[in-house]
Amino acid sequence: MDTDRERHRARETAFYLFTQQSLPACKPVLTPGWVIAIFLFMGVIFIPVGLVTLRASHCVVEIVDRYDIDCVPEPSRMDKVSYIQDDSIPKNCSRFMKVHKYMKAPIYIYYQLDNYYQNHRRYVKSRSDKQLLDGQKYHDTSSCQPVESNNNRPIVPCGLIAWSLFNDTFEFIREGAELKVNRKNIAWKSDRSHKFGKNVYPFNFQNGTLIGGGKLNPEIPLSDQEDLIVWMRTSALPSFRKLYGRIEEDLDVDDVVVVNLMNNYNTYSFGGKKKLALSTSSWLGGKNDFLGHACVFAGCSSLTLAIIFMLLHVKYRR
Amino acid sequence: MSGWDNIRSSTRSQQGRSHSLNQREPSRTVTLGRVQPQAPAFRTIYCNDRDANFAHRYRGNSVSTTKYNFFTFLPKGLYEQFRRVANLYFLMVSILSATPYSPVHPVTNVVPLSLVLLVSLIKEAFEDWKRFQNDMAINSTPVDVLQDQRWESIPWKKLQVGDIIRVKQDGFFPADMLLLASTNADGVCYIETANLDGETNLKIRKALERTWDYVTPEKACEFKGEVQCEQPNNSLYTFTGNLVIDNQTLPLSPNQILLRGCSLKNTEFVVGVVIFTGHETKVMMNSMNVPSKRSTLERKLDKLILTLFGTLFTMCLIGAIGSGVFIDRKYYFLGLSKSVEDQFNPNRRFLVVLLTMLTLLTLYSTIIPISLYVSIEMVKFIQSTQFINKDLNMYHAETDTPALARTSNLNEELGQVEYIFSDKTGTLTRNLMEFFKCTIGGEIYGTGMTEIERGVAERKGIKVQEVPTSINSVREKGFNFDDVRLMRGAWRNEPNPDACKEFFRCLAICHTVLPEGDESPEKIKYQAASPDEAALVLAAKHFGFFFYRRTPTMIYVRESHVERMGKIQDVSYEILNVLEFNSTRKRQSVVCRYPDGRLVLYCKGADTVIYERLVGGSDDLKKVTREHLEKFGSAGLRTLCLAYKDLAPDVYESWNEKFIQAKSSLRDRERKLDEVAELIEKDLILIGATAIEDKLQEGVPDCIETLSRAGIKMWVLTGDKMETAINIAYACNLLNNEMKQFIISSETDAIREVEERGDQVEIARFIKEEVKKQLKKCLDEAQQYFHSVSGPKLALIIDGKCLMYALDPSLRIMLLNLSLNCSSVVCCRVSPLQKAQVTSLVKKGARKITLSIGDGANDVSMIQAAHIGVGISGLEGMQAVMASDFAIAQFRFLKDLLLVHGRWSYIRLCKVVTYFFYKNLTFTLTQFWFTFYTGFSGQRFYDDWFQSLYNVIFTALPVIIVGLFDKDVSSSLSKRYPELYKEGIKNMFFKWRVVAIWAFFAVYQSLVFYYFVTVSSSTSQGSSGKMFGLWDVSTMAFTCVVVTVNLRLIMICNSITRWHYISVGGSIVAWFLFIFLYSGIMTPYDRQENIFWVIYVLMSTFYFYITLLLVPVAALLGDFLYLGVQRWFFPYDYQIVQEIHKDEADDSGRTDLLGIDNQLTPDEARSYALSQLPRELSKHTGFAFDSPGYESFFASQLGVYAPQKAWDVARRASMRSKPKPKPNKIN
């Protein structure tokens, strides 16, 4: 009874405060004192965070090698496109990468493409998620245009993305011994287990007149074709890296790694670059100073502003 | 004579003439507004015979004011919604997004559109439901109908044409009906027409003599007659028809018609025949929709939206051209070599550009804030219904009247008002006349002191001694008189008891007041057209001459103390003639016969006219009385002279013959009656004079002073005389002695001279010349003052006749220039039409925001002409309120309405609009930057659902909370620093500069969002070395956008309540909840694999948290710096006030304290204002009969039906609309 009435009264009071527009409120007034305090606070927060981030980034050792031009033999450099499209010419190529700093395993191998519009609208939508999961049980591949079928039979996996699968391969040799490259677990687990079917096998893939890129072993289910899975997580920007594998041995300073690669993939038509990157990883990820610099910059500018405001405050006291 | 009087008397005489013809020739129709074309056939109604009427299939009496019904709701409601450009645009975009050109799923645009439509439709349905319930309540009100010789109670809706019904006292008439009989003698009944025309005075309707007997059910059921009348039409004041009984044809006039919406007064019950029902009643046929006004801010908003459309188009064009340039076969991975659809065909680049244009149009559609209009509507709706209507500061406890926002469209307009046009009577003054003093036989009675007198005395340094009111003093509304010498019969001991007796009798007999209610002194109420009259009769009551009953021929007065102290006797006086009041005569007389046969003429009127007609002799009395009159006049009192004259029977008889002759004459009846009256109204004996105080409304001077400090210019437009107007203006703080006053008056000798010659063309030409000369002179002088630095404030006083010429197109510019330089303007003697003209002169000519405030029917045109119309819901009926946008009970509430609610609404709305603009621009620009990196293909950056829910869920609620709760300074500070209001007048918060600043930061922030997130994610994230894809990056960016945009909202708030935290926190939490669910669940039907598990992947990295910390801060750093610098170095006024009072708790309990400590109380302020009155007060003596509406009352008293009013014509001509008078007060 009483609680009921009390609740009723409380509700009435709240409504009264609402209609009379006198709800309890805090009134932040951005006085110079507050401005200075907040800037100081931000400086104090962001400079350490930035420094920590930068340190993490600096711990990462990264070796990048652009190989797309050097791997084309001297005589063919005038017409790289016909070189790359000529299947009869062997495409192997050797690169030497010098380790300038100790690299602790695991060392990640990335290939990087530039000017490659994986985020083009026509490209992004040319896939069939259902088919990737259900295979030929799912018939409708219209979303895969223009690579939906060949000889009136559907392609699995269909679509431009799969069709243009990256197909350069890399082998790493240190001091005559081959470095073991782990190609497993390079795709996000959620992709492997939920987006690509365990019982879906490539079918009728790269059988057409035009071959875009890599072929797939029809014996292996899609969920285990991690190259494809990585490739099909389309990138955000036209310049992107994708994980190729892991070297699970440490590399010492001044080690020279010989990379035997098959330069199969055509980036010459559109003037794209191909790079190979070896990188260790910190708790934060790869080598990227941007976040650290941004944090430090934000922190420093906050501090500077705080000081400027303080000086102004002293000079023109209101 | 003023222009108004001209109009009034001319229409009146015309009406009078045609009325007399009307008896024989029922063909005249006065066209009032839109009269429906009439069917040629007359309608024939068989009274009391449902079967006979059945053949005609007349419509039933149920009414419906709903906009929709069950079936039409959806199509009609949707049609209404799609008349808005934004909705239509989104419909088009939605259709477009169903085509393959669209990068987004249709859901992106359909969801926000349907949510917006849903909210709007629910609101419509709710409002219509309320109308429906109201209709139901009215339709099922019971009424007594005659069935089988008994009165049966049936609901209104079952009523049919031809039914005989009974309506009891205070009941409303359920339909238009013919009056058959009344319980009053002579078949008379009194009705109140407040719902129709706003007049609260009673009107008389009289049944035909032939039908007087049909009062009882037994008798009434014998009534068999046929009514032949016109087809239903919307003319309120006309009716033509005949009643056929026993083959006898009796003509009917409006005098026998009782209209739906009116109510019965002073009559036990009436019996009548229903003739028009339901929607065919005159009141329903008159109901038209009030044209909705749009606020200036909203019009400016349209421009902003147009700018956004322009931006959208530019963005699309840039992207489309880029796509045309980009597309190339060399990008073999795009599969362009085979047959390619048009949009990506490198051979047809022009087509690519065109189609990409469509693509981008759908992609960037979020730049148009679709939910803006519906959010604004909701905010305004709550502002008006919950804040304005329920504000206790604007609640008038005395009359139990809260403020009422009749429209929610104009809330923010209230914060930008620059000109106020105010009526005087009833708005500034109370329209409450109090009997204050009198002079009888050369002796002043009454101990009170008016405010003006007190002010004068204070200025002279005389200590004002408050005369203690005697213990037995009587205080009643309308009677503020105290003098022991007169009260309780003490007048018998005065030197002049006979004069006193005549004085009191004159007060009790010579009037046109109707008594209402119980015939006891305590309970009786007097109904009078002029409040002066009621005050006089009331005074007589307190003096012991209690007028308690009136019949058309008799007046009953209960007299005490006449023969000896304490003796009470009822005396009946036979009223032989009433010589009516009009504005030329300025007096009123009654010829009455005492029970003992004595014949007396009592007369009251303006001092000038009475003095001309006094008998010679007793010059001392005249001289003393005149001195007293001047004294009263200078004290701001309204005076009337009282006189009487004994008549010899033979003289009277011979005069009466002439009078009857004049009364029945068909031509020039007015003039003849005036002439006849002149014959008898002479050789009068002066008794004395009364002085009535026209009380100012409470707090008016204080309010006006505050408003003027707020930069609002106040114009008073009144029908009163120049002297009265100036006096009131002084009392209200509008004028003071430091001001330079320009007076343009038509009462100059030169003009009068020309007028006497009587050549109309010449008069017009001359006055126009004169006005032009005057205006030019004043303008020159004004500009001189204007250029000098410390010139005095200027004031313009102009009368109606001069105004008429000054409003001429050739002089209009000059008038406008002059008046805009003046801080206050007083227009006196203006007609309602001129009020509207002046208002629109400023509205259209100066493009300033105007507000009109008034209380009477004569203010309607002005109220509708201004940007904002405010009605005073007071004594003078509902007409002004019905036409207004806001209704308040007291003028002083204007302070709260403008300075508090208006200001807040304006600031809030500005914040809502600019914030909407910002958040949509920021969001869309990130898309735009992305477009550059996708080969201009129009690939979407965000998932479909992100984009569709961004506007309607993730950022919707907080902005509404700001629109409701944001307070920069408390209400008491708003009133204490009225100067804050000037920011609204200058439109400081919604300038293009403000919008540009928001736009600048929107661009900056969107760059931060896009580049910080994309650049920092170019390498692997997390220790697993795996890379992010497009959807990971975009989800990260979207999270940053949602968080930042919501935090930015907190930064614009001046006060943060719990609801801010809840809504802002809730929005961010809603996003996370959504993305947790959305990316976590994958159903076989809707496989959004893009987003699957994205948020979990993101959250497994440290990168996510650092970015989430960094990006919002980096994005808001610019805004924060701007806010800090702006507040520090270029503060708005409100920010200064905030800082002064930042340590004070905002306690509503202290509101009043705060308001007072630095200021005078309203009373003190008013006295202060009065002390500023000029030393030489005008020697006008006041004149207490200057009330509009008087003549029509008198006319109806005589059984002449009310003539069409000048203001009706003006109103209808200006607006062609009439608010719907709802008979909703039925119970």
pLDDT of residue A2: 64
Q: Rounded CA gap, A162 and A293, in Å?
A: 37
Which pair of tokens denotes residue B1219? 């608010």
- B423 in catalytic set: yes
Average pLDDT estimate for B925-931:
96
pLDDT of residue B197: 60
Q: Sort out which chain A residues have CB atoms less than 8 A from B383's CB and list them.
A: none
pLDDT at B247 over 50: yes
- As a whole number, the mean pLDDT across chain B is 80
> Contact A123/B1087, CB-based, under 8 Å?
no
Average pLDDT estimate for B330-339:
84
In angstroms, what separates the C-alpha of A148 from chain B's closest C-alpha?
Answer: 11
pLDDT of residue B518: 79
pLDDT of residue B1200: 35
pLDDT of residue B1173: 36
Any residues with CB less than 8 A from the CB of A282 and at least 6 apart, and which?
A56, A57, A59, A60, B1023
pLDDT of residue B1219: 36
In angstroms, what separates the C-alpha of B312 from chain A's closest C-alpha?
Answer: 20
- For B977-1001, the three-class secondary structure string (H helix, E strand, C coil) is CHHHHHHHHCCCCCCHHHHHHHHHH
Residue predicted with more confidence, A48 or B254? A48
What H or E segment, with its residue span, contains residue A271?
Answer: none
Residue from the list B340, B392, B1113 with its beta carbon closest to the beta carbon of A42 = B1113
Whether B438 contacts B690, CB under 8 Å: yes
Q: Rounded CA gap, B268 and B1024, in Å?
A: 95
Range with the largest mean pLDDT of B223-232, B418-427, B994-1003: B994-1003
Q: In chain A, which residues have pLDDT < 50?
A: none
- For B820-887, the three-class secondary structure string (H helix, E strand, C coil) is HHCCEEEEECCCHHHHHHHHHHHHHHCCCCEEEEECCHHHHHHHHHCCEEEEECCCCCCHHHHHCCEE
- Chain B contact for A22 (CB, 8 A cutoff): yes
Phi/psi region, residue B271 (left: phi>0; alpha: psi -120 to 50; beta: rest), is beta
Q: Sort out which chain B residues have CB atoms less than 8 A from A272's CB and list them.
A: none
pLDDT of residue B1207: 32
pLDDT at B400 over 90: no
pLDDT at B1205 over 70: no
Q: Rounded CA gap, B568 and B558, in Å?
A: 7
pLDDT at B1108 over 90: yes
SS percent in chain A: helix, strand, coil, step 5: 40, 20, 45
pLDDT at B1003 over 90: yes
- Which alpha helices (DSSP H) does B558-664 contain, by range? 607-612, 619-634, 649-664
pLDDT at B455 over 70: no
Catalytic residue among B135, B163, B197, B423: B423
**Residue in chain B lying closest to A123 (CA):** B334
pLDDT of residue B568: 84
> Contact B1056/A295, CB-based, under 8 Å?
no
**Residue in chain B lying closest to A107 (CA):** B1025
* Interface residue of B97, B325, B333, B343 to substitute, partner A, most A CBs within 10 Å: B333
Half-sphere exposure (CA, 13 Å, Cβ side) for B383?
Answer: 34
Strand order of the β-sheet with A240-247 is A62-66, A274-279, A107-113, A240-247, A181-182
Range with the largest mean pLDDT of A133-147, B133-147, B183-197, B1152-1166: B133-147
Buried b (16+ CB within 10 A) or exposed e, A94-127: ebebebeeebeebbbbbbbbbebbbbbbbbbbbb
Q: Sort out which chain A residues have CB atoms less than 8 A from B1127's CB and list them.
A: 30-31
* Interface residue of A12, A13, A23 to substitute, partner B, most B CBs within 10 Å: A23
Whether B512 contacts B533, CB under 8 Å: yes
Q: Rounded CA gap, B1015 and A288, in Å?
A: 9
Whether A284 contacts A49, CB under 8 Å: no
Whether B639 contacts B1183, CB under 8 Å: yes
Any residues with CB less than 8 A from the CB of B707 and at least 6 apart, and which?
B420, B714, B894, B895, B898, B899, B978
SS3 A92: strand
- Topology given in CATH for the domain delimited by B370-382+900-1135: Calcium-transporting ATPase, transmembrane domain (1.20.1110)
- Chain B contact for A42 (CB, 8 A cutoff): yes
Q: Rounded CA gap, B6 and B1142, in Å?
A: 59
Whether A112 contacts A64, CB under 8 Å: yes
Q: What is the pLDDT of residues B87-101, one digit of tens each?
A: 888 889 889 888 888
pLDDT of residue B982: 92
Q: Rounded CA gap, A238 and A235, in Å?
A: 7
Least confident stretch, A35-44, B20-29, B103-112: B20-29
| Residue at token pair 């190979």 | A276
Q: Rounded CA gap, B277 and B176, in Å?
A: 6
Q: Sort out which chain B residues have CB atoms less than 8 A from A116's CB and list them.
A: 333
> Contact A121/B938, CB-based, under 8 Å?
yes
Phi/psi region, residue B335 (left: phi>0; alpha: psi -120 to 50; beta: rest), is left
In angstroms, what separates the C-alpha of B1161 from chain A's closest C-alpha?
Answer: 23
Architecture field, domain B418-427+697-866: 3-Layer(aba) Sandwich (3.40)
Nearest to B801 by CA among B5, B6, B3, B1: B3
Strands A256-262 and A169-174: antiparallel
Looking at 3.30.1380, 1.20.58, 3.40.1110, 3.90.930, the CATH number of the domain B474-621+636-695 comes to: 3.40.1110
Q: Rounded CA gap, B1121 and B1102, in Å?
A: 28
> Contact B1110/A266, CB-based, under 8 Å?
no
CA-to-CA dists, residue B627 to B455, B621, B688, B727, B1188, angstroms: 20, 10, 12, 19, 28
pLDDT of residue B451: 65
pLDDT of residue B34: 41
In angstroms, what separates the C-alpha of B235 from chain A's closest C-alpha?
Answer: 43
pLDDT at B959 over 70: yes
Buried b (16+ CB within 10 A) or exposed e, B729-754: bbbbbbbbeebebbbbbbeeeebeeb
Residue range(s) occupied by CATH 2.70.150.10 in chain B: 159-282
Q: Sort out which chain A residues have CB atoms less than 8 A from B1057's CB and list them.
A: 23-25
pLDDT at B566 over 80: no
**Residue in chain A lying closest to B1028 (CA):** A235
Q: Sort out which chain B residues have CB atoms less than 8 A from A147's CB and list them.
A: 335
In angstroms, what separates the C-alpha of A306 from chain B's closest C-alpha?
Answer: 10
pLDDT at B870 over 60: yes
What does residue B786 show for φ and ψ, rounded to 5 degrees? -65, -35
Residue range(s) occupied by CATH 3.40.50.1000 in chain B: 418-427+697-866
* Interface residue of A12, A27, A316 to substitute, partner B, most B CBs within 10 Å: A27
Any residues with CB less than 8 A from the CB of A290 and at least 6 apart, and which?
B1012, B1015, B1016, B1018
% of chain B with per-residue pLDDT over 70: 84
| Number of neighbours of residue B138 by Cβ within 10 angstroms | 20
What H or E segment, with its residue span, contains residue B455?
Answer: helix B451-460
pLDDT of residue A318: 55
Question: What is the C-alpha radius of gyration for chain B, rounded to an integer number of angstroms?
Answer: 37
> Contact A270/B330, CB-based, under 8 Å?
yes
| Number of neighbours of residue B395 by Cβ within 10 angstroms | 18
Strands A92-98 and A181-182: unpaired
Q: Tell me how far apart the 2 most distant CA atoms of chain A are, in Å.
A: 98
Least confident stretch, A73-77, B470-474, B573-577: B470-474
Q: What is the DSSP string of B648-714?
A: -HHHHHHHHHHHHHHHH-SSSHHHHHHHHHHHHS-SBEEEEEEEEEEEEPTTHHHHHHHHHHTT-EE
Straight-line distance from the first to the last Cα atom of chain B, in angstroms, rounded to the nearest whole number: 46
SS3 A109: strand
Range with the largest mean pLDDT of A199-203, B229-233, B828-832, B927-931: B927-931
Chain A residues 127-156 within an 8 A CB cutoff of chain B: 129-130, 133, 146-147
Looking at 2.70.150.10, 3.90.78.10, 3.30.365.10, 2.102.10.10, the CATH number of the domain B159-282 comes to: 2.70.150.10
Q: What is the DSSP string of B152-205?
A: EEEEGGG--TT-EEEEETTPBPSSEEEEEEESSGGGEEEEE-HHHH---SEEEE
- B1062 burial (CB, 10 Å; 0-12 / 13-18 / 19+) is middle
pLDDT of residue B286: 65
Average pLDDT estimate for B165-184:
88
> Contact A194/B1082, CB-based, under 8 Å?
yes
Any residues with CB less than 8 A from the CB of B543 and at least 6 apart, and which?
B486, B487, B491, B504, B507
Straight-line distance from the first to the last Cα atom of chain A, in angstroms, rounded to the nearest whole number: 57
Q: What is the pLDDT of residues B421-440, one digit of tens each?
A: 998 877 888 767 788 888 98
Residue from the list B333, B1120, B1146 with its beta carbon closest to the beta carbon of A212 = B333
**Residue in chain B lying closest to A131 (CA):** B1087
**Is the Cα dihedral B534, B535, B536, B541 positive or negative?**
positive
pLDDT level of residue B794 (50, 70, 90 thresholds): confident
Q: Rounded CA gap, B911 and B917, in Å?
A: 10
* Interface residue of A120, A145, A182 to substitute, partner B, most B CBs within 10 Å: A120
pLDDT of residue B783: 84
Least confident stretch, B192-196, B323-327, B645-649: B192-196
Q: What is the pLDDT of residues B490-524, one digit of tens each?
A: 888 888 888 888 898 898 888 888 887 778 877 88
Task: Count A/B contacts: CB-CB distance under 8 Å.
Answer: 242
pLDDT of residue B531: 75
pLDDT at B1210 over 60: no
**Residue in chain B lying closest to A229 (CA):** B1029
Q: Sort out which chain A residues have CB atoms less than 8 A from B1124's CB and list them.
A: 30, 32, 35, 309
Whether B1218 contacts B1207, CB under 8 Å: no
Q: Sort out which chain A residues have CB atoms less than 8 A from B1059's CB and list them.
A: 23
pLDDT level of residue B458 (50, 70, 90 thresholds): low
Range with the largest mean pLDDT of B283-287, B333-337, B708-712: B708-712
pLDDT of residue B614: 87
Full-model pTM: 0.80
CA-to-CA dists, residue B359 to A236, B318, B344, B1150, angstroms: 19, 13, 12, 59
- Chain B contact for A286 (CB, 8 A cutoff): yes
Whether A291 contacts A24, CB under 8 Å: no
pLDDT at B1194 over 50: no
Residue from the list A20, A188, A287 with its beta carbon closest to the beta carbon of B1148 = A20
| Residue at token pair 């809603």 | B1070
